[in-house]
Structure 1
Amino acid sequence: MVAPATVTAVITGAAGCTVQPADGEGGGRSPVRIELPSGTPSAPRASGGGVGAQPGGPDGTPGGTPGGRPAGTPGAAERARVLWSRGDSGRDVRELQARLRQVAWLFHGPTGLYDEPTEKAVRGFQGRRGLPPTGRTDSATWRRLVAMTREPGTWELYLMGGQPADDPDPRCRSGRVLCISKSSRTLRWMIGGRTVTTLPVRFGSEYTPTREGVFRVYWKSRDHVSTLYDSPMPYAMFFSGGQAVHYSPDFAARGYGGTSHGCVNVRDERAIAALYEQVRDGDKVVVHW
């Protein structure tokens, strides 16, 4: 039981958690820029189709040969070879989308699905480059895009979530636990050492960090609203002062382009609504790297 004075302090503190916004050529507004943490490994380079291949010259082609045509310059058949098109999915499509974001032709995702916005972005990029505006990513389009961009890091590939979860912390292997990993930006809901569900999450900024350690859910508030910032915190499950796990519409819209004031933001409203019904007061919360 929390003393009345403590409850008052807790509720006041809970209001201190809300969204903070993050600080080319292209088809419109400036893209979200992601500051990669020191030591973050690059995403693995995909094999086949030239994915991740680095060009030798400023136009994406290697140096010349005695035959007259520059070495590696594709013929008509190679230029027409389609690598990905609408309906395709996978890690390679994520990289395509991440590179399109770097040059401000795409503003959603990466999702890993070659959808209508991706097709439109590719068509726009092709038209600006003087390439046939098919909306399909062929070899010539890919080489030009690679020449203009850098290889995306892990956070860029999983900007909207979906990054594979790392192994659970040993403290999460017993009981009912919200096991939250800062390194993979995931929340595992675990019961008796078994993972029931996994959700992408984001955290506070370096100035308002999400606290690490072992905590307990001490208060649930389904339709909570921050009293300091007048911002909604639906499905809030408070575990440390004003810090809570809760749904964030901003995360759903912008991905990792923003941060909280210390809360653990969830982007999937349906998933956290289901999680909220399962979690009880007193359940353990482990926040770790």
Structure 2
Amino acid sequence: MKDGDENEQVRELQARLRQLDHFDRAPTGFYGTITAKAVTGFQEKRGLPGTGSVDEATWQRLLAVTKKPTADELKPSTTNELDTPDARCMTGRVLCISKESRTLAWMIDGEVVSSMDVRFGSENTPTREGVFLVDRKVRDDWSKLYHTPMPYAMYFSRGQAVHYSSDFAARGYNGGSHGCVNVRDRTKLAALFDQVKVGDKVVVHW
């Protein structure tokens, strides 16, 4: 396993590293810089080459010192830990959205006001990355293209929006969006919807 991989084995890797306090957030299944750093720490502590990638020797050593993760360890219901905010999120009013930690942080002048778990589009319909602005808000929207409800929709890039997803709430990361940023906590999103204004910045980053 290496940087850029995204699968269930990566999720298991993260859960096992978390048992040893090398990984301090909920498993996401995505192998990014945070996971690479955790792997390097594990390798160096056990006398393995600190490559940040998982070879057979690293995997076997990890299996030997951890237990098979439970379903709750693999997909905990608690909110994912935020990673270090992108530099573009540090000024003004920003929806700071991290694909690596799968979180949305509502930030004002560099301070986190609230945060929530999110999921993104599939490989065929990816969520666009970059800096955008909220161009419209619709409290009770409906997707004519996909025939699904989109409550508390905040549009930022053509048809892509932050919105509540009952499917995400029910299935977690087993599913995906058609490009939108799905939120599974309706109560948190409802409060956020009332605070965000058209023209506020949106940053989507790894």
TM-score (norm 1): 0.50
2:7 pairs with 1:35: yes
Opposite residue 115 of structure 2, the aligned amino acid is: T
Q: d(CA) in 2 for partners of 1:275 and 1:188? A: 10
> 8 Å contact 1:205–1:261 — kept in the other structure?
yes
* Greater Rg over alpha carbons, structure: 1
Deviation at 1:221, TM superposition (A): 0.6
Which residue of the other structure, out of 221, 227, 244, is the alignment partner of 2:144?
Answer: 227
Secondary structure in 2 matching 1:235: strand
2:16 pairs with 1:46: no
Q: d(CA) in 2 for partners of 1:243 and 1:37? A: 29
Cα gap change, 1:39/1:269 in structure 2, threshold over 3 Å: closer, same or farther? Answer: closer
Pairing 1:6-155 to 2, within 5 Å after superposition:
35-36=7-8, 41-43=13-15, 44=17, 46=19, 151-152=68-69
Q: d(CA) in 2 for partners of 1:37 and 1:277? A: 39
Deviation at 1:157, TM superposition (A): 2.4
Secondary structure in 2 matching 1:42: helix
Q: What is the total number of aligned residue pairs between the two structures? A: 159
Deviation at 1:42, TM superposition (A): 2.5
Which residue of the other structure, out of 240, 249, 254, is the alignment partner of 2:171?
Answer: 254
Structure 1 unaligned spans of 5+? 1-33, 48-90, 96-145
The runs of at least 4 aligned residues of structure 1 exceeding 6 Å deviation read 37-40
Q: d(CA) in 2 for partners of 1:161 and 1:204? A: 22
Q: d(CA) in 2 for partners of 1:35 and 1:46? A: 19
> 8 Å contact 2:118–2:182 — kept in the other structure?
yes
Query: Taking every aligned residue pair, what percent have the same amino acid on both sides?
Result: 59
Opposite residue 211 of structure 1, the aligned amino acid is: R
Greater percentage in strand: 2
Secondary structure in 2 matching 1:236: strand
Q: d(CA) in 2 for partners of 1:40 and 1:180? A: 24
2:197 aligns with 280
> 8 Å contact 1:160–1:256 — kept in the other structure?
no
1:113-138 C-alpha deviation (Å, 9 max, x unpaired): xxxxxxxxxxxxxxxxxxxxxxxxxx
Deviation at 1:41, TM superposition (A): 4.8
2:130 pairs with 1:213: yes
Deviation at 1:152, TM superposition (A): 4.2
Structure 2 unaligned spans of 5+? 1-5, 28-62
Q: d(CA) in 1 for partners of 2:194 and 2:69? A: 37
1:222-253 C-alpha deviation (Å, 9 max, x unpaired): 10000122210000000001000000011111
2:149 pairs with 1:237: no
Higher relative contact order (CA 8 A, sep 6+): 1
Opposite residue 243 of structure 1, the aligned amino acid is: Q
CA RMSD for the aligned pairs?
3.1
Cα gap change, 1:40/1:217 in structure 2, threshold over 3 Å: closer, same or farther? Answer: farther
Deviation at 1:215, TM superposition (A): 0.2
> 8 Å contact 2:11–2:74 — kept in the other structure?
no
> 8 Å contact 1:161–1:201 — kept in the other structure?
no
Opposite residue 110 of structure 2, the aligned amino acid is: G
Cα gap change, 1:257/1:161 in structure 2, threshold over 3 Å: closer, same or farther? Answer: farther
Moved more, 34-43 or 258-267: 34-43
Secondary structure in 2 matching 1:171: helix
1:158 aligns with 75
